[in-house]
């Protein structure tokens, strides 16, 4: 009976969604088409829970490409890689026309070898979105019905179970994209309505038939960089926010440490005009506008590098982030499966757009940049607890009986060290596969998942700095920092109190992490 209720509920939801297509005021829709998909737009689609819809131009291109491929297969005698032949080193084996559908289904099944930790929900959503985008250009030869089913998965929040390990990042993200594609043909598992279930059960609940893959379709679904690029896009979106938080938290630390404002003067940035450095100087000056502490006389002539060189270090991270964002934005607006079909030129070309090197190198680079944001953050935390500049040792009024903020710095140092280890570039490695046919691979998938961990680590280290800086600020009272920073501290204090005596700290650190995750900056 429960199953029947759920089935009726899904049917009702389908009716609502159909009605919503005729009433755009009830939901925001992003139309998939030839228009450039920016990373900022991707963030907006996710944040607003927007639905997807194939535009007319995308539908036309997909349909015309499929019709061209069908004609080509009827007329051409020569083998076409992956369409009338096997894959990889089996490219010299011709496939009979009656076996083409079986070939594509077997490809998806045999390649579904992703293992390890589950890919997070938001990144699976991004994989669906970016795969739909790539197929929408009409160079992949897929059926319109296949792309429409992927859109249905996205819109109904049907998320295939995909795992983090298994891709070499070269012949596309074969293993994870195979797991993403299994539910199209009624295999694999999905998370649906908060429950993990077999894809076959989901199809029955939705009253959908499995897709019967036609020639080339399995290859189009599995070739591509959507696993790597989705991780990369997610990390860029998070890194943009963390970069802003780094400037804001560092500004609070400057006042808490009684630091100097002169290193942030525009004259300094103008004579070394890196865009990120200039932006950082401007941001810190803005955050400290109106601070009583920053204006008072300073007994010290200069600050340690972790304070004085914030524009240079944070700025370099910003410039890296800009570059990596541009590369990944190009990637998600590209056709990355193989072979590539050009109906207007009467061409089917087997090439290498699936190779992840163009994004593997930048993702390794971004991991280094974010690691440096956490590295310099931990150094500021260390200075805040050092018992200098009129601050008590470990930021408690009665050190000795209280350890105070001694160990949060240990935790930050441990996390920073882990990130440094994760910064060994995955893209330096290559292990040949497919009997040597695929003899150079990017390992971009490993670059992507490592970057994801560095993003999380950087957030935690910044949260620990905020934990310390807010505590240190109280020892400057009755002086006040800027109105903007006081407002942040007031909001922060609703979740993390001032520490007078030793207490359980990990819960407060976790609250600090959640504050950075959920608050706007």
19 pLDDT band, cuts 50/70/90, is low
In 112-173, which residue ranges form alpha helices assigned H by DSSP? 121-135, 144-155
Q: Tell me what the pLDDT averaged over the chain comes to.
A: 93
Q: Give me the active site residues, please.
A: 81
Mean predicted confidence (pLDDT) in 460-485: 98
Position 23 scores a pLDDT of 47
Where residue 76 falls among pLDDT bands split at 50, 70, 90?
A: confident
Model confidence at 2, pLDDT cuts 50, 70, 90, reads low
**Taking residues 258-287, what's their average pLDDT?**
98
Cα dihedral across residues 265, 267, 272, 274: positive or negative:
positive
- Has residue 492 got a pLDDT over 80? yes
Cα–Cα distance for residue pair 140/335, rounded to 1 Å: 8
pLDDT in tens, 119-172: 999 999 999 999 999 999 999 999 999 999 999 999 999 999 999 999 999 988
> Quick one: pLDDT at residue 24?
44
Residues in the chain, total:
521
The pLDDT score that the predictor gives to residue 88 is: 59
pLDDT in tens, 330-387: 999 999 999 999 999 999 999 999 999 999 999 999 999 999 999 999 999 999 999 9
pTM, rounded to two decimals: 0.92
Any idea which of 9-18, 63-72, 340-349, 387-396 has the lowest mean pLDDT? 9-18
How distant, in Å, are the alpha carbons of 102, 176, 196, 390 from that of 446? 31, 12, 26, 46
SS3 (DSSP) at 280: helix
For the cut 80, the answer to whether the pLDDT of residue 91 exceeds it is no
Pairing of strands 340-342, 195-198: unpaired
Q: Tokens 């940049």: give the residue.
A: 369
Does residue 77 surpass a pLDDT of 90? no
Residue 276 has pLDDT above 60, yes or no: yes
Q: How confident is the model at residue 93 (pLDDT cuts 50, 70, 90)?
A: low
What share of the chain in percent tops pLDDT 90? 84
pLDDT of 493 reads: 98
DSSP string covering 386-416, please? BS-TTPPBTT-SSBTTB-TTHHHHHHHHHHH
User: What is the rounded distance in angstroms from the CA atom of residue 202 to the CA atom of residue 207?
Assistant: 8
Per-position DSSP letters for 289-350, written without gaps between them: TT-HHHHS--SSS---HHHHTHHHHHHHHHHHHHHHHHHHHHHHTS--SSSEEEGGGTEEE-
Return the higher-pLDDT residue of 441 and 76.
Answer: 441
CA 161 – CA 355 distance, rounded (Å): 24
Beta-carbon count within 10 A of 34 CB = 13
List pLDDT tens digits, range 289-303: 999 999 999 999 999
Read off the pLDDT of each residue in 465-479 and give the average, rounded to a whole number.
Answer: 98
Q: Pick the more confident residue, 433 or 307.
A: 307
What average pLDDT does this structure show over 395-423?
A: 95
What's the rounded Cα separation, in Å, for the pair 37 and 134? Answer: 11
pLDDT level of residue 99 (50, 70, 90 thresholds)? confident
Res. 400 pLDDT band, cuts 50 70 90: confident
Grade residue 103 by pLDDT with cuts at 50, 70 and 90. confident
């Amino acid at each position: 009976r429960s199953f029947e209720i759920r089935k009726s509920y899904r049917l009702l939801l389908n009716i609502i969604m159909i009605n919503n297509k005729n009433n755009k005021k009830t939901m925001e829709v992003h139309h998939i088409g030839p228009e450039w998909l920016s990373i900022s737009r991707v963030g907006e689609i996710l944040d607003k829970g927007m639905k997807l819809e194939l535009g007319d131009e995308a539908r036309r291109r997909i349909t015309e490409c499929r019709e061209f491929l069908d004609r080509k297969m009827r007329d051409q005698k020569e083998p076409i890689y992956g369409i009338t032949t096997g894959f990889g080193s089996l490219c010299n084996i011709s496939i009979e026309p009656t076996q083409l559908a079986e070939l594509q289904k077997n490809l998806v099944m045999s390649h579904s070898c992703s293992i390890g930790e589950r890919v997070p929900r938001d990144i699976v959503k991004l994989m669906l979105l970016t795969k739909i985008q790539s197929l929408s250009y009409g160079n992949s030869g897929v059926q319109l019905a296949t792309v429409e089913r992927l859109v249905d998965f996205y819109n109904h929040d049907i998320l295939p179970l995909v795992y983090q390990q298994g891709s070499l990042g070269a012949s596309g993200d074969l293993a994870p994209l195979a797991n993403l594609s299994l539910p199209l043909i009624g295999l694999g598992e999905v998370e649906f309505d908060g429950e993990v279930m077999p894809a076959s059960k989901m199809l029955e609940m939705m009253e959908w038939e499995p897709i019967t893959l036609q020639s080339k379709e399995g290859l189009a679904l599995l070739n591509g960089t959507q696993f790597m690029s989705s991780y990369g896009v997610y990390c860029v979106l998070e890194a943009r926010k963390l970069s802003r938080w780094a400037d804001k938290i560092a500004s609070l630390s400057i006042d808490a440490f009684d630091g100097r404002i002169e290193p942030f003067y525009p004259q300094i940035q103008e004579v070394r005009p890196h865009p990120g450095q200039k932006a950082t100087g401007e941001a810190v000056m803005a955050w400290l506008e109106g601070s009583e502490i920053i204006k008072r006389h300073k007994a010290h002539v200069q600050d340690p590098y972790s304070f004085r060189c914030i524009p240079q270090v944070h700025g370099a991270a910003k410039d890296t982030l800009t570059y990596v964002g541009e590369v990944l934005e190009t990637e998600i607006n590209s056709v990355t499966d193989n072979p590539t079909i050009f109906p207007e030129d009467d061409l089917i070309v087997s090439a290498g757009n699936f190779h992840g090197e163009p994004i593997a190198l930048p993702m390794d680079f971004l991991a280094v940049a974010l690691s440096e944001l956490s590295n310099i953050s931990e150094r500021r935390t260390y200075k805040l607890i050092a018992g200098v500049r009129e601050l008590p040792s470990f930021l408690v009024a009665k050190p000795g009986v209280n350890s105070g903020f001694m160990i949060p710095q240990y935790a930050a140092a441990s996390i920073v060290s882990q990130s440094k280890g994760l910064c060994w570039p995955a893209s330096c490695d290559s292990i040949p596969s497919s009997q040597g046919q695929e003899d150079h691979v990017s390992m971009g998938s490993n670059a992507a998942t490592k970057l994801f961990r560095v993003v999380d680590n950087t957030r935690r280290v910044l949260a620990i700095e905020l934990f310390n800086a807010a505590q240190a600020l109280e020892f400057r009272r009755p002086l006040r920092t800027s109105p903007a920073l006081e407002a942040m501290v007031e909001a922060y204090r609703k979740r993390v109190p001032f520490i007078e005596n030793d207490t359980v700290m990990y819960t407060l650190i976790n609250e600090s992490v959640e504050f950075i995750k959920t608050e706007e900056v």
